[in-house]
Structure 1
Amino acid sequence: MKKEFIVILGGGESGVGAALLAKKNGIKVFLSDSGIISNKYKNILIENNIPFEEKGHTENMIVKNASKIIKSPGISKENYLIKKIYSLNIPIISEIEFGKNYIKNSKIIGITGSNGKTTTSSIVYQILKNNKLNVDIAGNIGFSFSRKASISKKDIYVLEISSFQLDDSHNFRSNIAVLLNITRDHLNRYDGNIDNYVSSKFKIATLQKKEDFFIYNYDDPIVRLGVKKYPILSQCIPFSIREKLNTGFYIKNKILIQKKDREICFFNLNKLQNIPIIGDHNLYNIIASLIISKILNINIDSIIPILLKLKPIEHRMENFANINGIKFINDSKATNVHAVFYALKSMNSPTIWIAGGEDKGNDYTEIISLVKSKVKAIICLGKNNKKIVNFFKNFISIILETESIEEAVHMAYALSYPGYNILLSPACSSFDLFKNYKERGKKFKKKVMNLIKNEKNRNIF
């Protein structure tokens, strides 16, 4: 029998994590990247004697020798090499599925959604960790799942999971799965068809077994329709902040109610009135976290101190600076319109909105009323801003364009008055000008800090 030989495509966190796990388990492995592998990951590969190549794929070697392919979630199915691999019936699996093969007795809490999955994953992890459970967090947040699985085994893994990771998952099973919402996101990767994107997201539920739990946001119409459409064997638990449900969790007089046969007062939301992260979007995240805690028999009262200490995640509604009464908010992680909806909804004063980047099939219709009522000017930060400009030119009189984050900051500041907000909430991916949303957010904050220094120096004289 031919010895297993795994080829990993992509030398980022997921690829290197999978390579480490394969190496640890005695599997012959080779990593290939079409671009340049960062020194951080290159050093890890060298230190662990893992063969690799960069700046291109040795195609013949890969297709002739690979018994299995693990590809980076960022590589499209339309990639020439991926199409060839599919045509040759070489199995392609996701890094998270590969990792799951080596921690079979551990519980998986899988959390996905177009928005909120990072925050929810972080909340759940903090709750379990503070309750002394043997838990770790991985996936689309921090280290890859395979990397964590190669280091040590935990009883529970909290995984933030993207649709791209689910695309190549065929047997990946979450014992507890959460679907927070589905919006028109990444449609450029799904042939412009939202049904393909929805199908991918629902894999987190359709791959479960009957003893598992599927927690979902009933208020999201796309999710609600998906629950009816897709075959789900697990125990479905809906939650809502808008409607009274016949079963599941909903809010009544600021009390979170659990309803099966009768109403049970589950949690008094008044206890969280001083929580530092606010807004409906975070309320959904918190309720999902509370339901998970209930399933795991965690004392709900022990969660309150944890929730009261929560801080906004970096690049997600991060209110980080104030210059002469003008607030600067870094929401670089808002890479779709739905995320921007909640960002603008939370603005309580006039706002200069910095938006733009690489469009993913956005439909801005749902934020028209918020933009008209709250936005005084739009700064388009991107290489191609036509779609944003054309959509909002009849609603907003001031729309400026730039490819410089520094210029965007100075434009926004020049248009602002004391009491204004300057909000970076792009609604688009960052790849036209930046490596990722983190780099975009960090550069935004750096330019604002430089502006603060300049203002202080100017005021001295």
Structure 2
Amino acid sequence: MFNVFKLILVQKKVTILGGGESGAGAAILAKSKGFEVFLSDKGQLHQKYADILNKENIPFEQGQHSEERILASDLVVKSPGIPDKVPLIVALKEKGILVISEIEFASRYTDAKLIAITGSNGKTTTTLLTYHLLKTAGLNVGLAGNIGDSFAWAVAEKQFEYYVLEISSFQLDNIIDFHPYISLLLNITPDHLDRYGYDFQNYVDSKFNIIRNQQASDYFIYYKESEVIQKELEKRNPAVGRIEVSLDNALEAGSYLENGTLVSKINGNALEIAFAELPVKGPHNAINALSAISVAQLLGIDPEKIREGLKSFTNAPHRLEQVEVIGGVTYINDSKATNVDSVFYALGSFDQPVILIAGGVDKGNDYSQIEALVKSKVKGLIVLGKDPVKLETYFAGKVPQIYATDDVRDAVNKGREWGVPGDVVLLSPACASFDLFKNYEDRGDQFKAAVRNLTQ
């Protein structure tokens, strides 16, 4: 580690690629450490970040990349949204210029204990819940990463003893020495395959970077029933201390669900709480809750404090969010479900008949994972997107009725037409949103507005 710090100290010119939250934060941290900083964004900066960079006297450009200037850098901190295969990144690496992620850069300037959370699904809920449990127990803890707040920005301006970090595979792609004290891997299912050459193993390798630098004195919390995770652990056999989370097995040491009760036995501490007492529902949220409880247990938080925190938690929007009950039909916004695995868990959360609204930009989805659930639970499929063919073709003859539209209001109206008291109209798209919407939040917000318009 000393050699890495020595390397960074002699690097003077730092270029930040990407001027969003992580990029602006990295620029502020770099300036605070005395580097000559330049930020470059091929798109247009949000005015908020342009104003901040101007205030901090950090030079930047937008609408282009000045390659000659960037290729003269000693170090480049790259936005997670920029793939490694773009020509500029390839050119940097060919020249031997170190390209790292913001989380890697920030981690070099903090002594805080890092709790890093990743997975194809459930990252945000688990991160928010873990942070909530630690915060309400009185720990000096920060929240950052993929959840929206820049880790580097927090490191530059605040002093926390712990950080709870939501970490995406894109952020893990460009780490070198990033070293969590506790890492969590909730699941690995096919996602972002377009970014990983349509090779699932590449995506798996990216996720497993989270334990790359962990040691025997660190902890790795993972979902025991994930065949992908188990296979990789057998292959890699990492030295890190392992904590299992299970929905199917009572564990002598670990956290599990048994007869509707969340049970955690870690480091001699025991905790039990009825899952029904928590504000989050569904089997996927049992995994998320058990994972967060495991972190709190490892940090020695009093069990009663953990119970209090679990009961007072409020989840982020767009995750199985109940919007309204109209005419006995419940409308659920699960717009964050941008892959098939998320929809699997969403459908598993309901016993009522479901009218499913799905569709958008397909990321190489395999719908066989949800075929049985769709056949048994879905009374109607509404395909919302510019290209409905794949979903229509796959589920033709497997659901009683299918309707395609590119208008969210039309989709909601069709759900109302098909619904009867006791039904659930579920927006759980399995796809990205950018064919019709700015992002999944915009999709969820428009869905909620359309539902609430039904009551007017």
Bin for the TM-score computed over the shorter chain = over 0.9
Aligned to 1:335: 338
- Structure 1 residues 355 and 131 mapped into 2: Cα distance closer, same or farther (>3 Å)? same
Alignment counterpart, residue 81 of structure 1, candidates 78, 84, 88: 88
Q: How many angstroms does 1:138 deviate by?
A: 0.5
- Structure 1 residues 385 and 89 mapped into 2: Cα distance closer, same or farther (>3 Å)? farther
Looking at structure 2, the residues matched to 127 and 393 of structure 1 have their Cα atoms a distance apart, in angstroms, of 45
Aligned to 2:212: 206
Pairs within 5 Å for 1:83-232:
83-103=90-110, 105-232=111-238
Q: Which amino acid aligns with 2:34?
A: G
**TM-score, normalization by structure 1:** 0.92
Q: How many angstroms does 1:414 deviate by?
A: 2.4
Aligned-pair identity (%): 44
Looking at structure 2, the residues matched to 422 and 101 of structure 1 have their Cα atoms a distance apart, in angstroms, of 47
Does residue 56 of the first structure (1) align with residue 64 of the second (2)? yes
Aligned to 1:9: 17
Aligned to 2:284: 281
Looking at structure 1, the residues matched to 437 and 16 of structure 2 have their Cα atoms a distance apart, in angstroms, of 25
Superposition RMSD in Å: 1.9
Does residue 427 of the first structure (1) align with residue 430 of the second (2)? yes
Pairs within 5 Å for 1:349-368:
349-368=352-371
Q: How many angstroms does 1:193 deviate by?
A: 0.9
Pairs within 5 Å for 1:212-361:
212-245=218-251, 247-252=253-258, 254=261, 256=263, 258=265, 266-270=270-274, 272-361=275-364
State the SS of the aligned residue for 1:380: strand
- Structure 1 residues 35 and 205 mapped into 2: Cα distance closer, same or farther (>3 Å)? same
Q: Is the 8 A contact 2:332 2:427 kept in 1?
A: yes
Q: Is the 8 A contact 1:255 1:266 kept in 2?
A: no
Q: Is the 8 A contact 1:290 1:300 kept in 2?
A: no
Q: Is the 8 A contact 2:340 2:366 kept in 1?
A: yes
Q: How many angstroms does 1:124 deviate by?
A: 1.1
Q: Which amino acid aligns with 2:238?
A: I
- Post-superposition Cα deviations, 1:41-73, rounded to whole Å, max 9, x if no partner, equal 22222222211111121122211x211111111
Looking at structure 2, the residues matched to 120 and 357 of structure 1 have their Cα atoms a distance apart, in angstroms, of 26
Q: How many angstroms does 1:362 deviate by?
A: 1.1
Aligned to 1:399: 402
Unaligned runs of 5+ in 2: 1-8
Aligned to 1:456: none
Aligned to 1:72: 79
Does residue 44 of the first structure (1) align with residue 44 of the second (2)? no
Q: How many angstroms does 1:320 deviate by?
A: 1.5
Q: Which amino acid aligns with 2:37?
A: V
- Post-superposition Cα deviations, 1:278-333, rounded to whole Å, max 9, x if no partner, equal 11111111111111111111111211122112233201000021222221111011
Q: How many angstroms does 1:452 deviate by?
A: 2.3
Looking at structure 2, the residues matched to 172 and 147 of structure 1 have their Cα atoms a distance apart, in angstroms, of 16
Q: How many angstroms does 1:18 deviate by?
A: 0.7
The total of aligned residue pairs comes to 447
Aligned to 2:3: none
**TM-score, normalization by structure 2:** 0.93
Q: Is the 8 A contact 1:74 1:164 kept in 2?
A: yes
Does residue 438 of the first structure (1) align with residue 441 of the second (2)? yes
Unaligned runs of 5+ in 1: 454-461
Q: Is the 8 A contact 1:245 1:259 kept in 2?
A: no
